[in-house]
C-alpha cells in the first residue's frame, strides 16, 4: 500500500510494572528533532499524583507533559495519560475520558492503541514495554490490522515480561528488541527508513485487514472508553429511551477471547446496574402500596 512508505505520525507506548525504567531508557535515546508525537500510558493508582512527566523530561531531550483534553497533537512532544483517565486520540486532538476501566485499569493501554489505530491507521507505531498480565495486546493487534507497526520489548530484557510475552503470542510483531534498539528503530521509521530488516520479526507474517464488522466493534469499544462512569448504567429520564449500538456478534459475557470485543464487558455492567435499579424501584413501589 502507498501509505506504508509514509513515516509514522505518532508513537503510542504502553507499560506497567517495571515500565518506568524502560520508558526512561527509551526516551533518553530519542533525538529532540524527531518528527513524531509520543503518547504514553502507564498503569498508576487513580488517586496518586503522577510525576512521570517530570521524570521523562529529565531523562531525555523531548519535553513531556500530562495530556490535556482537546489539546492539539504536536510532533517532538511526549504526552502522558494522567491518573484515572483514559487517553484517546482523534485525527487532530487528544481526549481525556473517565470511561469504564479496562483490564482493571484507568488509564488502560488498549483504549489508547485502539483510538490511534482508528484515527491514524498505518501511520501508528505501537510499543509494548515491561508489565504484568496482558493489557495492550488487543490494542496492538488493532494497530497491526490497521496497517501500523507493532514493536515489543524483548521479554528477556523486561523486568516483568508478561505484557511483552502476551503481545508476542497473539500479535505478529514487527520488531522484538531491547529498549535502546527499539528507540533506534523508531527514529529510523520516523525519518522514513525501515532500519535493520534482518531484525524485523513480523516481516513474513500476514495479518488480515479489519473487515467492516471489526471496525464497528473497535469504534464501539473506543466510544465506551469515552463514557463517564458516573452516568454508565443510570436510567434514562421518564419517557426517554437510550440504546447502546452493540451488534449481536459483539455480545459475549465475561472476558472475551483475544482479539474479540471487550465492549460486552462494559455493556454487561450497564445492563446489570440498570436491572438492579429497576428491581429496587419495583420493591420501593410495592412497599409504598402496602404489599410485599
d(CA 262, CA 139): 11
SS3 of the chain: the string is CHHHHCCCCEEEEEECCCHHHHHHHHHHCCCCCCCCEEEEEECCCCCCCCCHHHHHHHHCCCCEEECCCCCECCCCCEEECCCCCEEEECCCEEEEECCCCECCECCCHHHHHHHHHHHHHHHEEEEECCCCCCCCHHHHHHHHHCCCEEEEECHHHCCCCHHHHHHHHHCCCCEEECHHHHHHHHHHHHCCCCCCHHHECCCCCCCCCCCHHHHHHHHHHHHHHCCCCCCCCCCCCCCCCCCCCCCHHHCCCCCCCCCCCCHHHHHHHHHHHHHHHHHHHHHHHHHHCCCC
Residue 244 lies in a domain: yes
| pLDDT for 148 | 96
Residue 12 inside a domain? The answer is: yes
Please give the angle made by the CA atoms of 132, 118 and 191, to the nearest 5 degrees: 85
Rounded mean pLDDT, 73-96: 95
Beta bridge partner(s), residue 200 = 175
Judgement on whether residues 195 and 239 belong to the same structural domain of the protein: no
- Tell me: pLDDT of 123 over 50: yes
pLDDT of residue 219: 66
Q: Which of 16, 101, 119, 166 is catalytic?
A: 16
Mean pLDDT of the 263-285 span: 44
Q: Residue 233 has which C-alpha cell?
A: 448504567
Does 72 lie in the same domain as 165? yes
Q: Are residues 140 and 102 in the same domain?
A: yes
Does 206 map to a domain? Answer: no
Candidates 229, 148, 161; CA nearest to 22 is 161
- 16-39 mean pLDDT: 97
- The verdict on pTM exceeding 0.85 is no
**Shared domain check, 189 and 127:** yes
- 118 shares a domain with 52: yes
In a domain? residue 50: yes
Instruction: Give the three cell numbers for residue 73.
Output: 497533537
Q: Is residue 204 part of a domain?
A: no
Q: Which of 199, 229, 255 is the last residue in one of the domains?
A: 199
Q: Which domain CATH number covers 126?
A: 3.40.50.180
23, 54 Cβ separation under 8 angstroms: no
* Among the listed residues 229, 171, 172, 240, the one whose alpha carbon sits nearest the alpha carbon of residue 203: 172
Establish if 161 belongs to a structural domain: yes
- Residue 61 among the catalytic residues: no
Domain end position, chosen among 177, 199, 221: 199
Of 110, 134, 135, 174, the active-site residue reads 135
Beta bridge partners, 73, equal: none
pLDDT tens, residue by residue, 124-166: 999 999 999 999 999 999 999 999 999 999 999 999 999 999 9
**Is the model's pLDDT at 262 over the cut of 50?**
no
Tell me the pLDDT tens digit for each residue of 183-228. 999 999 999 887 654 455 544 344 556 666 666 766 666 666 565 4
Q: How many domains does the chain have?
A: 2
Residue 66 has pLDDT above 70, yes or no: yes
Mean pLDDT of 39-62: 94
Select which of 15, 43, 162, 166 is catalytic. 43
How many angstroms separate the CA atoms of 59 and 159, rounded?
19
Residues 128, 14 contacting (CB under 8 angstroms): yes
Q: Is the pLDDT of residue 256 over 60?
A: no
Are 252 and 131 part of one and the same domain? Answer: no
- Same domain as 193, residue 223: no
71 and 187, same domain (yes or no): yes
Q: At CA 89, angle to CA 176 and CA 229, rounded to 5?
A: 110
Tell me the average pLDDT of the chain.
78
In the predicted model, what is the mean pLDDT of residues 266-288? 45
Q: Decide if 252 is inside a domain.
A: yes
User: What pLDDT is stored for residue 9 in this prediction?
Assistant: 84
Kindly indicate the confidence band of residue 12, based on its pLDDT and cuts at 50, 70 and 90. very high
- Identify whether 16 is a catalytic site residue: yes
Give the Cα separation of 284 and 165 in Å (integer).
Answer: 51
Range of the domain at 244: 212-288
Is the domain of 121 the same as that of 216? no
Domain C-terminal end among 199, 232, 258: 199
pLDDT in the model for residue 77: 97
34: in domain: yes
Whether residue 218 is found in the same domain as residue 185: no
C-alpha cell at 99: 470511561
Mark whether 234 and 184 lie in a shared domain. no
Active site residue 191: no
Same domain, 165 and 123: yes
Amino acid at each position: 500500500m502507498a501509505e506504508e512508505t509514509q513515516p509514522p505520525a505518532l508513537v503510542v507506548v504502553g507499560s506497567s510494572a517495571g515500565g518506568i525504567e524502560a520508558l526512561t531508557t527509551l526516551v533518553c535515546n530519542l533525538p529532540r528533532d524527531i518528527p513524531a508525537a509520543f503518547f504514553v500510558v502507564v498503569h498508576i493508582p487513580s488517586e496518586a499524583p503522577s510525576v512521570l512527566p517530570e521524570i521523562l523530561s529529565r531523562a531525555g531531550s523531548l519535553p513531556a507533559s500530562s495530556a490535556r483534553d482537546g489539546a492539539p497533537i504536536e510532533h517532538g512532544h511526549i504526552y502522558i495519560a494522567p491518573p484515572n483517565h483514559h487517553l484517546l486520540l482523534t485525527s487532530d486532538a487528544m481526549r481525556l475520558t473517565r470511561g469504564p476501566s479496562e483490564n482493571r485499569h484507568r488509564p488502560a493501554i488498549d483504549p489508547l492503541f485502539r483510538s490511534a489505530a482508528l484515527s491514524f491507521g498505518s501511520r501508528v507505531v505501537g510499543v509494548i514495554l515491561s508489565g504484568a498480565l496482558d493489557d495492550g495486546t488487543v490494542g496492538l493487534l488493532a494497530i497491526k490490522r490497521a496497517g501500523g507497526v507493532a514493536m515489543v520489548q524483548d521479554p528477556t530484557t523486561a523486568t516483568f515480561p508478561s505484557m511483552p510475552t502476551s503481545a508476542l503470542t497473539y500479535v505478529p510483531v514487527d520488531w522484538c528488541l531491547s529498549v535502546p534498539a527499539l528507540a533506534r528503530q523508531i527514529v529510523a521509521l520516523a525519518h522514513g527508513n525501515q532500519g535493520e530488516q534482518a531484525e524485523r520479526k513480523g516481516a513474513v507474517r500476514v495479518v488480515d485487514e479489519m473487515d467492516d464488522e471489526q471496525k464497528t466493534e473497535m469504534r464501539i469499544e473506543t466510544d465506551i472508553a469515552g463514557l463517564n462512569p458516573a452516568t454508565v448504567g443510570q436510567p434514562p429520564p421518564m419517557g426517554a429511551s437510550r440504546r447502546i449500538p452493540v451488534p449481536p456478534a459483539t455480545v459475549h459475557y465475561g472476558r472475551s477471547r483475544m482479539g474479540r470485543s471487550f465492549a460486552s464487558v462494559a455493556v454487561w455492567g450497564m445492563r446489570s446496574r440498570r436491572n438492579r435499579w429497576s428491581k429496587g424501584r419495583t420493591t420501593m413501589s410495592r412497599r409504598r402500596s402496602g404489599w410485599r
